[in-house]
Every structure is written in C-alpha cells, then in structure tokens.
Amino acid sequence: MKALIKDRPLRGGTYTDLPIPKVGENDLLVKVHAAAICGTDIHIYQWNEYASSRIKLPLLFGHEYAGEVVETGKNVTSFKKGDRVAAETHVPCGHCFQCTTGLQHICKDMRILGVHMDGAFSEYAVLPAVCAWKLDPAISYEVGSTLEPFGIGVHALSKTKPAGKKVIVFGCGPIGIYAQMVAKLSGAEFVVGVDVSKERCALAKQMGTDVVLNAKEVNVLDEVNRVTKGFGTDIVVELTGNKEVLNEASKTLRRGGDIVLVGLFSGPVEWDLVNNVIYKEANVYGVTGRIMWDTWWLAQGILLSGKIDIRPVITHYFDLKDFDKALQLAESATAGKIVFRI
Ligand SMILES: [Zn+2]
Ligand SMILES: [Zn+2]
C-alpha cells in the first residue's frame, strides 16, 4: 500500500510502499478514505523537539481519519466488514483508574495513533476497535476525518454554558473555528474570534463568527472593550498555546468568567494568577481530546441537526503523494483544515 512515513530524524517525510498491516485480535483493518492534517503531524514533519522527544522511527504518521472496515480481529464483535468508521485517536489502556471511571480520554497510559503507534496517512490502517466510531451514513468520509478535531471544539465548549454569553476564542485555526461555530450554535450573545492570519480571519468570518479580530491589525483589548461596552467576556477559549496570548486573553475575561485552556504551551508559562484568576474568581478548565463517547455523540448530533455545516472549514484537499505541498501549507497556519483523499 502507499503510505507517508517518517523514517529519518530530519525535516520531511517519505512517500513509500508498505505491506498492508496485519490486523490484531482486538483491531479493525480500515481502508482509509480521508485523513486530515493535525498540528501534531506538522511537528512530526518538521521533526522539532516535540516530535523527536516522543517518536520512535520509523513511524507511519497521520491520525485523524475515516474509512471502511475491511477486516476485523478475532475478538471483535461490535464491528463488521463494510462498516464506515472514524478514528478516536487516543487509545486508552482499559485498566487504569481513569479508564475504569469513564475518563478513558485522560487514561494514565494513553497512546496516540500516529505518534506512539502507526497511524493512517496510508491506504490501510489498523484501528483498535475500542477507538472506532461508527460514522452515520449522512456524514462523508471527508467530514468524518475531521470529527476528531471538531470534537475538541465541542468538548471545550461543553465545559461552559455559552447561551446568552459573550464568548471569545483565541485562534481561528480549524479547532478555533469549530469552537466559534459551536458557541454560536449554543446561543452565545456573540462570538469573537482572534487570529493573526488574514486567511484564517476571513474563514472565521465566512463561517459566521460575529466579530473577527486580526491581532496584527488591531488592539484586541481595546476592541473587546468596545464590543462588550467595557463588560468583558464571559467565556474565553484559548487555543493558541502562546503565553502572551494567554495573558492578554485573561485580561478580556470579566470577573467570575470561565477560561478554557486547550492550546498546548511549550514549557512552563508565566501567568498573573492573582489578577487573572484569584481576584476574578475565574473558573479555569483544561481540555484535552474528546470524552469517549459522549463528545462523539454530541459532535455527530450537532452535524446531523443540519444547523451547522463544517464542510467549508476543509479548505484544501490533496493526494497523499503531494504531502510536501500539503504539510507546508499546514505549517504556514494560513489554511483551514487540509485533508488527504486516499
Ligand atoms: Zn490531531
Ligand atoms: Zn487507562
């Protein structure tokens, strides 16, 4: 099968032929139809510190995908050949405290597809059955491949009660835009999106965000003050993983508001806790991944309601062999979601 692998500790990737993988007794073999590029894949492509400290080579990378089951392992009873599935990328151990108390998504010994084990930038992929989501027939493989990041947006907003609230989301990459769409769908008074890329700002606007601020062009604090008439925001969602942005984001929050942290910071962060959290009695939530399977039900239900259409958030499609172009576009942080059709 054709596959995109990482086999050298250098920038780049290798498009190559691999044998179709053998399906383990608890796994599914999936014919991949669509696979989306995630920030993690960019790290792997660049071979930065994040990637080199975690990954053993060679690795078949890529983890956000959807496809059709072509074979099932001998212990698998809940899936059959022909099922359409999307992948939950966090593989839980099944035994730890979290796994046995409904918190598999923060499993103590979690492994991640396409990071700790082979992924899905390939014609076929092995998916542990425990991580397979049966995709509703009304959802295409392309959109199915983006349910995983869409789920992060859904999970982030589920920590709060956005109805009637002033919501601000820092970051207009795909997850940021998903979060903005979910906030708006949930009845927010208005939603503000912030980014530094004019393409991403334009996409947020196109997807219905009420106020889009390009932080390169305007003073975000001044604009938030203007838009909220000095009230501040009720809910902040932080997706950039940039500590300056975190401090600025916190300043927009009203006293007693909610701040949801999703973006990953590199290293420890200096944060003015006294003024931004303690004196404000701010509620701070950390969010990672998606609750299995609560978030998936919500995410799919939102799409099936027909009230929002996330298809336009996918701005580019590529063939796997054009991976250099696709990953370079992804790292430019100017596009929406980028999907390989396989
Ligand atoms: Zn991902
Ligand atoms: Zn576990």
Q: Which ligand is nearest to the CA of 130?
A: 2
Backbone angles phi, psi at 63, to 5 degrees: -140, -15
Pairing type for strands 314-318 and 211-214 reads unpaired
Cα–Cα distance, 38 to 147 (Å, whole number): 12
Q: Is residue 170 within 8 Å of residue 240, measured between CB atoms?
A: yes
From the list 33, 40, 63, 209, the catalytic residue is 40
Rounded to an integer, the average pLDDT of 215-244 is 98
DSSP for 274-332 reads IIIIITTT-EEEE--S--TTHHHHHHHHHHHTTS---GGGEEEEE-GGGHHHHHHHHHT
Cα–Cα distance, 213 to 196 (Å, whole number): 8
Ligand 1 geometric centre to CA of 115 (Å): 10
Q: Is residue 68 within 8 Å of residue 31, measured between CB atoms?
A: yes
Rounded to an integer, the average pLDDT of 106-120 is 97
Cα–Cα distance, 193 to 177 (Å, whole number): 8
pTM (2 d.p.) = 0.97
Q: Report residue 193's pLDDT band, with 50, 70 and 90 as the boundaries.
A: very high
43 catalytically annotated: yes
Helix (H, G, I), strand (E, B) or coil at 221: helix
What pLDDT, on a 0 to 100 scale, did the predictor assign at position 88? 98
What pLDDT, on a 0 to 100 scale, did the predictor assign at position 114? 98
From the list 33, 43, 90, 105, the catalytic residue is 43
Rounded to an integer, the average pLDDT of 99-126 is 97
Helix (H, G, I), strand (E, B) or coil at 249: helix
Ligand 1 geometric centre to CA of 251 (Å): 29
Rounded to an integer, the average pLDDT of 280-299 is 98
Q: Which ligand is nearest to the CA of 114?
A: 1
DSSP annotation of 24 reads P
Cα–Cα distance, 139 to 142 (Å, whole number): 8
Q: Report residue 128's pLDDT band, with 50, 70 and 90 as the boundaries.
A: very high
Ligand 2 geometric centre to CA of 245 (Å): 33
Q: State pLDDT tens for residues 66-80.
A: 999 999 999 999 999
Cα–Cα distance, 290 to 89 (Å, whole number): 9
**235 CA to centre of own chain:** 19
What pLDDT, on a 0 to 100 scale, did the predictor assign at position 2? 98
Rounded to an integer, the average pLDDT of 211-220 is 98
Rounded to an integer, the average pLDDT of 16-24 is 98
Rounded to an integer, the average pLDDT of 217-224 is 98
Q: Which ligand is nearest to the CA of 92?
A: 2
Q: Report residue 94's pLDDT band, with 50, 70 and 90 as the boundaries.
A: very high
What pLDDT, on a 0 to 100 scale, did the predictor assign at position 37? 98
What pLDDT, on a 0 to 100 scale, did the predictor assign at position 260? 98
Ligand 1 geometric centre to CA of 97 (Å): 24
What pLDDT, on a 0 to 100 scale, did the predictor assign at position 74? 98
Peptide bond into 162 cis (omega under 30): no
Rounded to an integer, the average pLDDT of 305-322 is 98
Nearest CA to 136 among 2, 302, 3?
302
Pairing type for strands 27-36 and 64-72 reads antiparallel
Residues whose beta carbons lie less than 5 angstroms from ion ligand 1: 38
105 catalytically annotated: no
Q: Is residue 143 within 8 Å of residue 23, measured between CB atoms?
A: no
Q: Report residue 328's pLDDT band, with 50, 70 and 90 as the boundaries.
A: very high
Ligand 2 geometric centre to CA of 71 (Å): 26
Residues whose beta carbons lie less than 5 angstroms from ion ligand 2: 92-93, 96, 99, 107
Q: Which ligand is nearest to the CA of 288?
A: 1
Rounded to an integer, the average pLDDT of 300-322 is 98
